[in-house]
């Protein structure tokens, strides 16, 4: 169970994963050693599962973001494993989730432009093992939100 200090630490790291322990400690009202122990405990429990950069796709000249729903011909474990292995090798696929509902997978795909997405769709997504149907939704505008950490912390409160 997360206490108030744990939630504060996660909120600070959610804003800036590169914040120094001393900066985190100061913001949450703990000593540096107490903050270090809590961060290590959060890491050991798997609450902090890693530190990764967030990318500004447009700055990287990746102007198009698409959510791609994929339906497989079979939901056998071997079919799921083959699809996942193939999807993980496609450079434009930045997220891949097995989902419930009408489709089997939801992929987040980035591309330079529509022509680049068409190439990814034709040469890579369409050739993944077991694919029966692909439906694409293009992001017209991404709305800023408090973020994953803040949403999780608000839900746990």
pLDDT tens digits for the chain (157 residues)? 888 899 899 888 888 888 999 999 999 999 999 999 999 999 999 988 887 766 666 666 668 899 999 999 999 999 999 999 999 999 999 999 999 999 999 999 999 899 999 999 999 999 999 999 999 999 988 777 666 666 666 655 4
Within this chain, do residues 68 and 116 fall inside the same structural domain, yes or no? yes
- The total domain count for the chain is 2
| Dihedral pair phi/psi, residue 27, rounded to 5° | -70, -30
SS3 per-residue string spanning 1-61:
CCCHHHHHHHHHHHHCCCCCHHHHHHHHCCCHHHHHHHHHHHHHCCCCCCCCCCCCHHHHC
Are 49 and 75 within one domain? no
My answer on whether 23 and 72 are in the same domain is no
**pLDDT at position 59, please?**
65
Strand order of the β-sheet with 131-138 is 93-98, 105-111, 64-72, 131-138
pLDDT of residue 156: 54
Same domain, 25 and 92: no
CB atoms within 10 A of CB 108: 15
Q: What is the CATH number of the domain that holds 10?
A: 1.10.10.10
Q: What is the pTM of this model?
A: 0.69
Domain hosting residue 80, numbered range:
57-138
Structural domain contains residue 149: no
In this structure, the answer to whether residues 119 and 131 fall within a common structural domain is yes
* Nearest-angstrom CA–CA distance, 134 and 125: 8
By the 10 Å C-beta count (0-12 exposed, 13-18 middle, 19+ buried), 148 is classed as exposed
146 forms bridges with which residues in the sheet?
Answer: none
Residue 154 lies in a domain: no
pLDDT of amino acid 2:
85
Q: What is the pLDDT of residue 150?
A: 63
43 with 96, same domain? no
Residues 116 and 78 in one domain: yes
Q: Are residues 126 and 62 in the same domain?
A: yes
The reported pLDDT for the residue numbered 151 is 64
Which residues, other chains included, contact 112 with Cβ-Cβ below 8 Å and sequence gap of 6+?
A: 61, 62, 63, 64
Residue 15 and residue 69 in one domain: no
- CB count in 10 Å sphere of residue 10: 23
Pair (24, 75) in one structural domain: no
């Amino acid at each position: 169970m997360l206490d108030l200090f744990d939630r504060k630490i996660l909120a600070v790291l959610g804003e800036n994963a590169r914040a120094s322990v001393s900066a985190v400690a100061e913001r949450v009202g703990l000593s540096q050693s107490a903050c270090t122990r809590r961060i290590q405990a959060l890491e050991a429990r798997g609450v902090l599962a890693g530190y990764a950069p967030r990318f500004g796709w447009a700055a990287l000249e990746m102007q198009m973001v698409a959510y791609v729903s994929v339906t497989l011909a079979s939901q056998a474990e071997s079919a799921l494993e083959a699809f996942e292995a193939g999807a993980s090798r496609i450079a434009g696929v930045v997220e891949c989730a097995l989902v419930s509902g009408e489709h089997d997978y939801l992929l987040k795909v980035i591309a330079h432009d529509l022509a680049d997405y068409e190439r990814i769709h034709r040469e890579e997504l369409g050739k993944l093992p077991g694919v029966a149907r692909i439906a694409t939704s293009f992001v017209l505008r991404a709305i800023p939100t408090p973020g994953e950490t803040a949403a999780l912390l608000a839900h746990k409160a």
